[in-house]
């Protein structure tokens, strides 16, 4: 706070604080509070609203726990989101290290621009592009001259989610690796450490806050995605956000839908806590 006042003065600092407060209160906290209230009220006909049946209840949450189909979809969403997060980390770490410690700053800037170009296209169009590529009569089968059904199980969803959200892993890992003093890497190599040992003992421990931040962002975005699962799903794949969407827009049951949405929110918060414990970092470190 004192640093903001010193750099920007009272007027700009107040404006920044008001915008941040508006973002947190009006766009984050208030919608979540309304969602929780909705989730604790029963879905009733209009004539029964305000009557003796209109009381706080956990019945909407019970709807989830008595439905094995919805529990299975929830668990599969968690599992596939974890797989997507792991794949993004495996693919993003070498790219982030290459940009931070191997190539020059101008070359890294050029590579950043190339990585950002797909972000100029909407997520919907990128998902449609992968639909065209992976379809049975799509571009990939035409190029390879084969007839393979790529969109089976969760294959298409995994490919689409990794492609869509991998940049959210590259950026925090790059930022963390870049802050590492290159002299430490050179010293490790001079002392005979192998590349793997150097990464395991020096680079990865230093980059833990960035890795944790990237894992949190990719997991939360993947678990909460709706466009990619809708476009790249197969007949035997289903995403938990699709179940929430059905409650809201097909069943018009906003109360049960809110309960399901709160369960997804609780899952994401639990994943954040898990990452903090696994990587041994604080929440403030992840935001650097």
pLDDT at 217: 93
pTM for the structure as a whole: 0.88
Cα–Cα distance for residue pair 259/70, rounded to 1 Å: 13
Structural domain includes residue 16 = no
Task: Tell me the average pLDDT of the chain.
Answer: 87
Structural domain includes residue 225 = yes
Instruction: Give 162's pLDDT tier (boundaries 50, 70, 90).
Output: very high
Structural domain includes residue 21 = no
Least confident of 73-82, 94-103, 110-119: 110-119
Structural domain includes residue 217 = yes
Structural domain includes residue 255 = yes
Structural domain includes residue 11 = no
Assign residue 165 the CATH number of its domain: 1.10.3720.10
Cα–Cα distance for residue pair 158/232, rounded to 1 Å: 9
pLDDT digits (tens, 9 = 90+) for 231-254: 888 888 899 999 999 999 888 889
Structural domain includes residue 40 = no
Task: Give the list of residues 6+ apart from residue 223 with CB closer than 8 angstroms, or none.
Answer: 77, 78, 81, 240, 241, 264, 267, 268, 271
pLDDT at 85: 95
Domain count, the chain: 1
- Structural domain range at position 244: 65-286
Structural domain includes residue 139 = yes
pLDDT digits (tens, 9 = 90+) for 195-224: 888 888 899 899 999 999 999 999 999 999
pLDDT digits (tens, 9 = 90+) for 23-64: 888 888 898 899 999 899 888 777 767 777 778 888 899 999
């Amino acid at each position: 706070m004192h640093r903001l006042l010193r750099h920007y003065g009272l007027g700009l600092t107040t404006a920044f604080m008001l915008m941040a407060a508006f973002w947190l209160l009006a766009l984050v906290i208030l919608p979540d509070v309304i969602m929780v209230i909705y989730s604790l009220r029963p879905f009733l006909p209009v004539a029964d609203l305000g009557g003796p049946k209109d009381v706080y209840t956990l019945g909407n949450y019970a709807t989830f726990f008595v439905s094995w189909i919805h529990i299975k979809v929830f668990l599969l969403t968690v599992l596939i989101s974890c797989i997507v997060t792991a794949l993004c980390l495996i693919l993003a770490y070498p790219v982030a290290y290459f940009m931070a410690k191997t190539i020059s700053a101008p070359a890294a800037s050029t590579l950043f621009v190339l990585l950002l170009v797909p972000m100029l296209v909407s997520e919907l169009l990128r998902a449609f592009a992968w639909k065209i590529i992976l379809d049975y009569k799509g571009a990939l089968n035409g190029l390879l001259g084969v007839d393979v059904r790529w969109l089976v199980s969760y294959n298409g969803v995994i490919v689409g989610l990794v492609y869509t959200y991998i940049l959210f892993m590259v950026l925090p890992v790059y930022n963390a690796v870049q802050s590492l003093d290159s002299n430490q890497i050179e010293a490790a190599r001079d002392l005979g450490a192998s590349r793997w040992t150097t990464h395991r003992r020096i680079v990865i421990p230093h980059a833990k806050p960035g890795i944790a931040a990237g894992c949190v962002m990719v997991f939360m975005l993947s678990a909460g995605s709706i466009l990619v699962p809708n476009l790249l799903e197969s007949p035997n794949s289903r995403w938990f956000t699709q179940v929430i969407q059905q409650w809201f827009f097909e069943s018009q049951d906003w109360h049960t839908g809110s309960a399901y949405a709160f369960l997804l929110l609780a899952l994401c918060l639990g994943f954040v806590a898990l990452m903090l414990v696994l990587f041994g970092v604080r929440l403030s470190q992840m935001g650097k």
